[in-house]
Amino acid sequence: MKSLTLVILMIFPLLMSPIVTAEPISVMSPFGSPLAGARVQAIKLDGTVIEGYLDSEGRISIRDVPLGVITLRVISWRGFSIDYEVVITMYNTSVTCYTIGRLAIVAKTVLGQPLRMAYVEIVSEDGVKEERVLKNGKLNVELPAGKYSITVSIANRQVTREVEITGGRTVFVDVTLPVIEIFGSIVDQWYPLYMTVVLLIVIVILVIGVYELTIYLRTRRLKKIVEKVSR
């Protein structure tokens, strides 16, 4: 009987004061990154829907929450659709969005040189695009689960890969573009061959030119000698 009375005394204040000011809700990816700027909806127990965006730390504050319980729906992040839903209480205001995965790209030349400034275009199934730039030939980016088309391009050369991102996992993509790096510049892989051929052609032309000039000068000198002898 005493235990029942104790339980009633604990529940009674909650029933008498159903409106609670909730703490800021924090939403992270499975890799510990805040979903900064994500578009979210908070649905209260009375059906009230509040829509907003997570701040730079992946947080949002919802006031006047009945019983401190709401349903949080993550709609999109960086323009990519997510549609992740979780129930929030006053005891779990920090949640993880488990439908976020990670894409790890390594791009290099045919000689194995890292592509330092290659462009990466990420396109989702519904046509949402995001552009990134490789640093030292590598890129790590978190994305909602789904299928994507990944295009790496530089110096008018590009390679496209189709990938599927799974929540909580990292997908590795290795790309080799038909280019090489010479003295800090990215050129076509056949550029050295082109330059070698051009150089050989120039050398042949010069040799032929020198030979023809030598023959011409020798013939002219012999002609002058013949003219002197004839006199």
For the stretch 44-77, pLDDT in tens is 998 999 999 999 999 999 888 877 899 999 999 9
Closest to 80 (Cα-Cα) out of 148, 31, 138, 27 = 148
Say whether pLDDT at 143 is over 70: yes
CATH number at residue 54: 2.60.40.10
Give residue 212's Cα distance to chain centre.
60
- Indicate the number of domains in the chain: 3
Domain termination site, one of 96, 116, 134: 96
Is residue 5 in some structural domain?
no
Least confident of 37-41, 101-105, 152-156: 152-156
- Burial profile 113-152: b = 16 or more Cβ within 10 angstroms, e = fewer: eebbebebbbbbeeebeeebebeebebebbbbbbebebbb
| pLDDT average, residue stretch 90-107 | 93
Residue 122 counted as domain residue:
yes
pLDDT at residue 200, as a whole number:
67
62-66, 85-89, 138-142: the lowest-pLDDT one: 62-66
Q: Which segments within the chain are labelled E, that is strand?
A: 19-20, 25-28, 39-44, 49-53, 59-60, 65-66, 70-77, 80-88, 94-96, 100-108, 119-124, 129-133, 138-144, 146-154, 157-165, 170-176, 179-182, 185-188
Per-residue pLDDT of 151-162, as tens digits, reads 999 988 999 999
Domain that holds residue 145: 100-186
Pick the more confident residue, 129 or 5.
129
